[in-house]
Amino acid sequence: MSGGPTARAPAAETPSASDMLLTVHSVDLLESKDGPNRREHHTDAYFSDNLIIRRGQTFQMWIEFSRPFNPKSDSLQLQLKLEPIFSSSTGIHISVPLVDILEDGRWEMKIVEQEDKRVRLAVNTLPTASIGCYKVTVESFSPKGKLLFPCSPNDLYMLFNPWCEDDAVYLDDESERKEYILNSMGRIYYGTEQQIGTRTWNFAQFEQDILEACLFILERGQVAMTEWRDPVIVSRMVSALVNSNDDYGVLMGNWKDSYEGGTSPTAWSGSGDILRQYYSSGSLSNSPSAGVKMSWYSHRCVTNFNSAHDTDLSLTTDIYIDEKLEIIKDKTSDSVWNFHVWNESWMSRPDLPAGYGGWQVVDATPQEPSQGSYRCGPTSVSAVRNGQVNLKFDTPFVFAEVNSDKIYWQKKPDGSFSQVNVEKSSIGQCISTKAVGSDARVDITHLYKYPEGSWEERTAVERASRRLQTDFVSVPTGNDVSVEIVMDGAGPRIGEDAKLSIVLKNKSSSQRTASLLYEVMVMYYTGVLKNTVKKDQIPLTLKPQETKTIPLTLQYKEYMNHLVDQGALMLAVTGRVNETQQILATQFNFRLRTPDLIITPQGDAVVGKELTVKITFQNPLSQVLRNVLFRIEGLGMQSVRKIAYGDVDKHATVTLTEKFVPTVAGPQKLLASMDCRLLTQVHGVADIVVKPK
């Protein structure tokens, strides 16, 4: 940038240097990953050669001119343009003037250093600026006229700034900023509340082309770029655009057991490949939950177990049974998902009353439309906890997901239904997210609701019911027999028999008799039932104060040909106590656990040196696995490695030997997953510390 031929003394008739046009020869945006801009703006992890900055913070740049800059007669101005690439919507044009003293809250720039023909500028940005990719032009002024110097293709990317106190996404805890913004590896929890499974997820937010892909998604939203300054609007737009229900978004939701033309959601292990595929071709992938982490503001993945899908905003989950105590499947439209994953984003909420900022639910796989589009959020977690369902956005639906009452209704001879049982604490269990600074699971249920049954929790439910003018549910009285279903340990493995127990307690001083009906059903993890694999009746006699345990075994041969994705099943138990006519009703969701992929590095990992890794898997089934595909990512790779293995014989062991060349020193993760129609949710992770050269 510096240097050039030595200036000669001008001849007597030559005009002075300050009378010549001020021509820009070059501009250095100091975009290097290890330069001051990227380091100070916490964007040095991005795999990009462009300048990436965070709003509300000063950045620096060098300009080289055709002659020395004369502050008495020359001037400068930056032109920043945020213009749509794929649409015809209106863009944004910002002029940044040259000043002597920088003031906060203004677009301004100041010369902080001058070396011969070069000047170094400090440029102020607004904490309310629209995020996006800006075109940069330098406008130079001299007594001889004005010249323009476009800096293209050196674009400037501007992001939200959780380090800036004046930004709506400001987060004041540095350890949380490192976790929720700078950490590219997270954890997603799945399964059931008693069988919580964990898988590592590569958010890939710093990988090649991912930033561009995220901005491409925003532009597909057809929202004015002036609104891109507001994280509330941006997050709501992202919620709509990640799903493809009605706007050709990234992911096509598929809750069936066939993913023809797409990819099973359990086969993915990161967001990078999904976003790159969409960005390059606009094609869609099947996935019921995608951990899309846009590193513009603080974000974490949250899993809600026993997550209710309230279809009619009644704030209750309604289960209907007939006179024979069997579930009326076509009447029961509400469902309880084994688990549901959404994102939380941290931001202030100036559009809500004070106290409702902080973590906001943003669900990119919404189950119902909101204001005419499939989206959910941002929903204040604090509003959900307090039953303030009148506050936007979509608070009633999220409230029902975590704190609705589960009500059993029985059909009467005249065709009407009467309430026969209420479960007030089954919905919204073990709400989980990854801990800050470790891979531990943290239970954050207390952030979404007060302790079950407490005065505060019941008050929140009553407040929510009043706001929506729904009936507050009362518990039927006179019930002295209880029923619950228990499972030992971590539960059954796929390929083995499943063993559970039905436990009944007679709390009265009199004998009780009943006839129990139990039904084991295969279901999708969304709570939608597929078919029944086992069903029977059990006569029952309970002595006064007696507790009786009834063992139940579901054999492998009974379920092996009926399973759907993720191996989810439900045991439903109903019955009637003869002496009191009390209706017994409960449901228990469980899953068949799958084996892990075992990843073992062979030797030390060193930057630039080839590393051999072994990946081992054993087929637990007495069936052949067809067309098995393995996916591997992480360890600083910029793309997913796919290995088409073929068929795996029954109970056979597979060993893959793969070679990698690490590019980044420090703690890294290597992820692997298996894609197979017959056996899903098979994955593994290895923690690898990469040494520098």
Q: Are 249 and 238 in contact (CB under 8 A)?
A: no
Residue with tokens 């940044």, as numbered in its chain: 96
Residue 277 tokens, joined: 């595929």
Question: Distance between CA atoms of 254 and 124, rounded to whole angstroms?
Answer: 46
31 appears as a binding residue in the annotation: no
Tell me 692's DSSP state: P
> Left (φ > 0), alpha (ψ -120 to 50) or beta: where does 390 sit?
alpha
Q: Are 275 and 204 in contact (CB under 8 A)?
A: yes
Q: What are phi and psi of 35, to 5 degrees?
A: -85, 175
| Full strand arrangement of the beta sheet holding 583-591 | 529-542, 512-523, 568-577, 583-591
**DSSP-based helix, strand, coil % in the chain, nearest 5:** 15, 40, 45
At a CB cut-off of 8 Å and minimum separation 6, what does 258 contact? none
Question: Distance between CA atoms of 493 and 75, rounded to whole angstroms?
Answer: 73
Question: Distance between CA atoms of 690 and 611, rounded to whole angstroms?
Answer: 10
Residue 37 tokens, joined: 């801009």
Question: Distance between CA atoms of 364 and 384, rounded to whole angstroms?
Answer: 18
Q: What are phi and psi of 651, to 5 degrees?
A: 60, 15
Question: Distance between CA atoms of 87 and 219, rounded to whole angstroms?
Answer: 7
Mapping DSSP onto H, E and C, the string for 176-240 reads HHHHHHHCCEEEEEEEECCEEEEEEEECCCCCCCHHHHHHHHHHCCCCCHHHHHCHHHHHHHHHH
Q: Are 410 and 322 in contact (CB under 8 A)?
A: yes
Neighbour count for residue 348 (Cβ, 10 Å): 17
Give the three-state DSSP class for 457: helix
The bridge status of strand 598-602 relative to strand 666-675 is unpaired
Q: Are 568 and 338 in contact (CB under 8 A)?
A: yes
64 appears as a binding residue in the annotation: no
Question: Distance between CA atoms of 327 and 331, rounded to whole angstroms?
Answer: 9
Q: What are phi and psi of 593, to 5 degrees?
A: -70, 140
Question: Distance between CA atoms of 527 and 569, rounded to whole angstroms?
Answer: 9
Q: Classify burial at 203, counting beta carbons within 10 Å of its beta carbon; exposed 0-12, middle 13-18, buried 19 or more.
A: buried
Give the three-state DSSP class for 645: strand
176 appears as a binding residue in the annotation: no
Tell me 324's DSSP state: T
Q: Classify burial at 56, counting beta carbons within 10 Å of its beta carbon; exposed 0-12, middle 13-18, buried 19 or more.
A: buried
Question: Distance between CA atoms of 11 and 454, rounded to whole angstroms?
Answer: 91
Listing DSSP states for 461-500 in one string gives HHHHHHHHT-PPP-PPS---EEEEEEE-TT-PBTTS-EEE
Mapping DSSP onto H, E and C, the string for 354-401 reads CCCCEEEEEECCCCCEECCEECEEEEEHHHHHCCCCCCCCCHHHHHHH
452 appears as a binding residue in the annotation: yes
Q: Which residues are annotated as a binding site?
A: 403, 405, 452, 457
Q: Which residues are annotated as a binding site for Ca(2+)?
A: 403, 405, 452, 457
